[in-house]
C-alpha cells in the first residue's frame, strides 16, 4: 500500500509541475448555447521514441522497430468525448442558434456539414449515457464531429494522429504504461477486462496520467486519424516529424488505448489497434451506415487542436479522409 501511495504522489507532483509550466495554456472549450464544455490540456511538443522495444512484455510485432519521432505543440481533450456532448452533434438542435463566427482558424459553415443518420438501435447498449464515453461511431463520424465542433466554435479541431496520441499517452515516459511497467498498478489508471464489470465506465474515474489526461489506458479505445499499416515503423529510417498516414481505404484504420474488453497488454502506451469490417456485422442497412459501427461497443475518441492551425485545404484532408 505504501508503494501505491508513493506512486500516486509522484504522479500528482508531475501533474503539478506540468500545470505550473503550461496551466496558462489549458482552457475550457464552451459549447455555444449550452452549459457543456470540453477541457483541453496543453501539451508541449518534442521528440520521443515511438513504438516499443523488443524486450517489452506483451509487445506485438507491429510496434517495432522503435524509431525517433518529433511532435509539434497541441491541445488535447482531458477526457474522452462523452455522450452528453456527442448527442449535440447527433441532434444538431443548436446549429440554428449560433451566430456566424468571425474566425481566424476555420472557414467552414455549420450548415455545410452533413448530419449523422440515427442508429437503428441504442448505441450505448444499455451501459449508460450521462457522463459516459460515446461509442460505436465510425472514424468518419468522429471526423465530422470535429468539423462540426470547429464550425460552431471557430477553433480548428481534429482527431489526433497515432504519433500524437502515443506522445500524449506516454506523458514523457518510455515505460509500458504512463505510470511505469508494473501492470499490477493498472487498476488505478484504467478500465479493462479485469476490473470493468463487463461494460464501459463514466469518464475520469481513474487516476490521470502525468500530464493530467484521463482514460488513456482503457475504458474505450480511441480513434486516430491514421490508416493502420502494420509495417509502417519499418519504413521510417530516420527522425520523422509529425507522421500521419493519410487513409486511402476504409479498413483498417488505427485505434489506440485499449478498452474495457481488453487484457492489460492492449492498454500499453505503444499498443496499436485496427478497425475491421466486422465492426458492422449487425448493421441491417444496405449499404451499411457510414456513421455507425454497430459491433464496436468499445471504441470512442478524444479531440485535438494543433497550436499551429493548418490551411483550409489541409483541414479538409484531416476531416474528410475517412470518406474514402
Does pLDDT of 58 surpass 90? Answer: yes
Residues 167-193, mean pLDDT to the nearest whole number: 97
Secondary structure E strands in the chain: 27-30, 37-43, 46-50, 67-71, 74-77, 221-227, 240-241, 253-256, 272-274, 299-300, 304-306
DSSP 228-251: P-TTGGGG--S-EES------SSS
Tell me what pLDDT residue 286 has. Answer: 84
Checking if the pLDDT of 30 tops 50, the result is yes
pTM above 0.85, yes or no: yes
For residues 25 and 40, what is the distance between their CA atoms, to the nearest angstrom? 9
Query: Residue 183 to residues 187, 189, 202, 217: CA-CA distances in angstroms?
Result: 8, 10, 22, 11
The grid cell for 240 is: 520523422
Query: Could you give the C-alpha distances from 210 to 13, 213, 232, 237, in angstroms and in order?
Result: 8, 7, 28, 30
Q: Sorting pLDDT into bands at 50, 70 and 90, what band is 315?
A: very high
279: helix, strand or coil: helix
Q: Is 321 a residue whose pLDDT tops 80?
A: no
Closest CA to 324 of 247, 258, 265: 247
Task: Average the pLDDT over 115-130 and give the result.
Answer: 94
Of the candidates 180, 135, 144, the residue with the CA atom closest to the CA atom of residue 292: 135
Task: Give CA–CA dist 313/318, Å, rounded.
Answer: 9
Residue 6: per-residue pLDDT:
55
In 23-134, alpha helices (H): 83-91
* pLDDT tens per residue across span 196-217: 999 999 999 999 999 999 999 9
**pLDDT at residue 16 greater than cutoff 90:** no
Average pLDDT on 300-316 reads: 97
Q: What angle do CA 55, 60, 65 make, to 5 degrees?
A: 65
Give me the mean pLDDT over the 283-294 stretch: 92
Task: Please answer whether residues 120 and 285 qualify as being in contact, where contact means their C-beta atoms are separated by less than 8 angstroms.
Answer: yes
- More confidently predicted of 291 and 14: 291
Give the pLDDT mean for 255-269. Answer: 98
- What's the CA gap between 277 and 295, in Å, rounded? 10
What's the pLDDT tens digit per position in 66-118?
Answer: 999 999 999 999 999 999 999 999 999 999 999 888 898 999 999 999 999 99
| pLDDT number for residue 8 | 46
Q: Is the pLDDT of residue 188 over 70?
A: yes
Asked if residue 122 has pLDDT above 60, the reply is yes
Rounded to an integer, the average pLDDT of 20-38 is: 87
pLDDT score, position 100: 82
CA distances from 194 to 51, 93, 183, 198, 267 (A): 25, 39, 11, 9, 12
Q: What percent of the chain has pLDDT over 70?
A: 92
pLDDT band at 9 (very low <50, low <70, confident <90, very high): low
Residue 153, all three cell numbers: 466554435
Bridge partners for 273 per DSSP? 255
Instruction: Assign 317 to helix, strand or coil.
Output: helix
DSSP state of 280: G
Rounded to whole angstroms, the Cα distance separating 166 from 157 reads: 18
Q: What is residue 102's predicted lDDT score, i.e. its pLDDT?
A: 85
Confidence of residue 323 (pLDDT cuts 50, 70, 90): low
pLDDT at residue 11 tops 60 = no
pLDDT(316) > 50: yes
For residue 15 the three cell numbers come to 501533474
Per-residue confidence band for 237, with pLDDT thresholds at 50, 70 and 90:
confident
Peptide bond just before 28 cis, omega within 30 deg: no
Q: 274 CB contacts (<8 Å, ≥6 apart)?
A: 228, 251, 252, 253, 254, 255
- pLDDT mean across residues, the chain: 93
Q: What is the pLDDT of residue 4?
A: 45
Amino acid at each position: 500500500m505504501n508503494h501505491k501511495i508513493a506512486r500516486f504522489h509522484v504522479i500528482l507532483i508531475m501533474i503539478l509541475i506540468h500545470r505550473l509550466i503550461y496551466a496558462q495554456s489549458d482552457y475550457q472549450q464552451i459549447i455555444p448555447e449550452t452549459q457543456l464544455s470540453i477541457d483541453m490540456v496543453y501539451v508541449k511538443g518534442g521528440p520521443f521514441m515511438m513504438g516499443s522495444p523488443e524486450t517489452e512484455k506483451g509487445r506485438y510485432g507491429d510496434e517495432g522497430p522503435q524509431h525517433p519521432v518529433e511532435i509539434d505543440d497541441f491541445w488535447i481533450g482531458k477526457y474522452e468525448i462523452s455522450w452528453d456532448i456527442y448527442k449535440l452533434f447527433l441532434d444538431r438542435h443548436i446549429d440554428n442558434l449560433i451566430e456566424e463566427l468571425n474566425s481566424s482558424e476555420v472557414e467552414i459553415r455549420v450548415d455545410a456539414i452533413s448530419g449523422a443518420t440515427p442508429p437503428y438501435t441504442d448505441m450505448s447498449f444499455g451501459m449508460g449515457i450521462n457522463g459516459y464515453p460515446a461509442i460505436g461511431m465510425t472514424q468518419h463520424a468522429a471526423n465530422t464531429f470535429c468539423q462540426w465542433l470547429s464550425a460552431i466554435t471557430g477553433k480548428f479541431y481534429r482527431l489526433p494522429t497515432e504519433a500524437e496520441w502515443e506522445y500524449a499517452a506516454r506523458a514523457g515516459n518510455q515505460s509500458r504504461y504512463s505510470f511505469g511497467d508494473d501492470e499490477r498498478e493498472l487498476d488505478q489508471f484504467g478500465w479493462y477486462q479485469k476490473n470493468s464489470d463487463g461494460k464501459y465506465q463514466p469518464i475520469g474515474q481513474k487516476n490521470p496520467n502525468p500530464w493530467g489526461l484521463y482514460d488513456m489506458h482503457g475504458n474505450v479505445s480511441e480513434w486516430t486519424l491514421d490508416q493502420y499499416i502494420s509495417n509502417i515503423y519499418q519504413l521510417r529510417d530516420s527522425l520523422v516529424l509529425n507522421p500521419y498516414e493519410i487513409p486511402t481505404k476504409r479498413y483498417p484504420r488505427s485505434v489506440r488505448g485499449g478498452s474495457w474488453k481488453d487484457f492489460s497488454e492492449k492498454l500499453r502506451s505503444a499498443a496499436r489497434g485496427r478497425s475491421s469490417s466486422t465492426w458492422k456485422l449487425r448493421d441491417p442497412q444496405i449499404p451499411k451506415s457510414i456513421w455507425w459501427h454497430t459491433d464496436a461497443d468499445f471504441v470512442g475518441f478524444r479531440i485535438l487542436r494543433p497550436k499551429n492551425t493548418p490551411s483550409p485545404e489541409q483541414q479538409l484532408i484531416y476531416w474528410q479522409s475517412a470518406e474514402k
